[in-house]
Amino acid sequence: MTAFFLEFEVVREDRYAPLVGVVEALRLSKQEDVWPDDDFWLGFFDSEARAFFWWPTAADLAAYRRRWDATPASERPYDPGLETPWDFGSMLDAFRNGEYEILGCRRISPTTARLEFDPYAGPFGGTECMRALIEAFGHRVLHDSWG
């Protein structure tokens, strides 16, 4: 049993295998230190999974920048208007740069699975990208062993 994992409810069975596929590809890319471009990764995500991410247009980014500039620096971390969903590229970068080994996904019951990882040290980059990946495929995170 691994010490570090995100345990999640498999909400839809048909969404589990695609998640396992992308986790395996991420595991191999990190292990081999070969990182394909975003188009490669997009092949693992159907329209339903892609819809989870923020795909900002130039106008979206300009509007966000205006909100950012108009918000005092001391308030930015607490302003819900400045929160955005994960964008696809940022999630991939977080996986690429995270200082951990991805061990894979495995079922622990008919309705529960774990995305398992082994951090090299602390801090290692966090589990937020792992959570985003799980949620992009419609599953619900139940427990994060890291904290």
Chain segment 70-104, per-residue pLDDT in tens = 999 999 999 998 999 999 999 999 999 999 999 99
Say yes or no to pLDDT of 2 above 80: no
Whole-angstrom Cα distance, residue 65 to residue 44? 31
Is the pLDDT at 66 greater than 80? The verdict is yes
**pLDDT tens for residues 121-131?**
878 889 999 99
Q: Rounded mean pLDDT of the chain?
A: 94
Sign of the CA dihedral running 118, 122, 125, 127: positive
Measured CA to CA, the distance from residue 110 to residue 18 in angstroms comes to 17
**pLDDT tens-digit series, residues 29-58:** 999 999 999 999 999 999 999 999 999 999
CB contact at 8 A, 118 and 4: yes
